[in-house]
Amino acid sequence: MRPVRNVGVLMSFLSLLLLIGCSERPDRRRAAAASAPQEFTETRTPVSHFRTAYPESRQAVTGDLSAGVPAAALSPLSSQRREALTPLIDALALSENIDPLLVHAVISQESRYNPRALSPVGAGGLMQMMPGTAARFGLTSAERFEPHKNIRAGIRYLKVLTRLFGGHLDLILAGYNAGEGAVLKYGRQIPPYKETQQYVRRVKGYYALYREQARHRQLRTMMAQVEESRRRVRAPTRQNGRSDSITSERATGAESP
């Protein structure tokens, strides 16, 4: 009888050890997994996953034409494409708190309002965005030729340059043409590139021209409003004069025998 009891005690002891081992096994596995070297696999993610499609900015672009290089004397661009695109350009510019006339000036020089324009160096669309610059603002190479996407990305690039160069119009335009790196390289001056120097003068020329045209339109509108106000003031006076004459005629006729 005694050996049987010993065997029972031994079985109970082994069962207890087995339970303890099973309860510790998950913890050991987790600890071993935590201490094991991790394997990383490289994943390539589109630029748009890291950046919003059009980085937000509410800072206004100042257009001081009195400073910097003189504006070139140019003739206005008159085309059906310009007339057709003006409502879209104006709406996007105003929504981004930028002067629409500056956007028109850039487009006039860059593409002459041709949405399919493609330069020899690969800049495309209305505001001639390079593929790398377009990618900064969430656009694919093909999307550069969609007018509303191209215009909005170009506007926001102008605003990035505005913040970088403190609203200095010459440097903003030089950065748009040659890249901000070139402007910084030459000590925040217009780079000594003939194309860039001519570009700045021409865009400022279009900008000055469009602003002058806008002032003339505003003056004509104000004169028309003044003339309309005078006409409205004169109209009741004439009506009152006629009613007074009719009343006096009736009164005279009533008094006569």
Separation between Cα atoms, residue 89 and residue 6, nearest integer Å:
96
Instruction: Indicate whether 25 pLDDT > 70.
Output: no
How many Å from the N-terminal Cα to the C-terminal Cα in the chain? 160
pLDDT tens readout for residues 210-220: 999 988 888 88
Separation between Cα atoms, residue 131 and residue 143, nearest integer Å:
10
Please give the structure tokens belonging to residue 90: 């104006």
Backbone φ, ψ for residue 39 (5° rounding): -105, 125
Query: Which tops the pLDDT comparison, 241 or 68?
Result: 68
- Which positions are annotated as active-site residues? 110
How much is the average pLDDT of 159-170?
95
Residue of 58, 59, 65 whose CA lies nearest to 211:
65
- pTM for this one? 0.65
Please give the structure tokens belonging to residue 189: 């001056």
Instruction: Give the distance, in angstroms, between the CA of residue 224 and the centroid of all CA atoms in the same chain.
Output: 35
Residue of 170, 157, 171 whose CA lies nearest to 205:
170
Query: Which tops the pLDDT comparison, 29 or 69?
Result: 69
User: What domains are defined for the chain?
Assistant: 77-223 (1.10.530.10)
Separation between Cα atoms, residue 62 and residue 102, nearest integer Å:
10
Separation between Cα atoms, residue 151 and residue 144, nearest integer Å:
9
Is 144 within 8 Å of 124 (Cβ atoms)?
Answer: yes
Please give the structure tokens belonging to residue 229: 């106000």
| Residue 129, beta-bridge partner list | 124
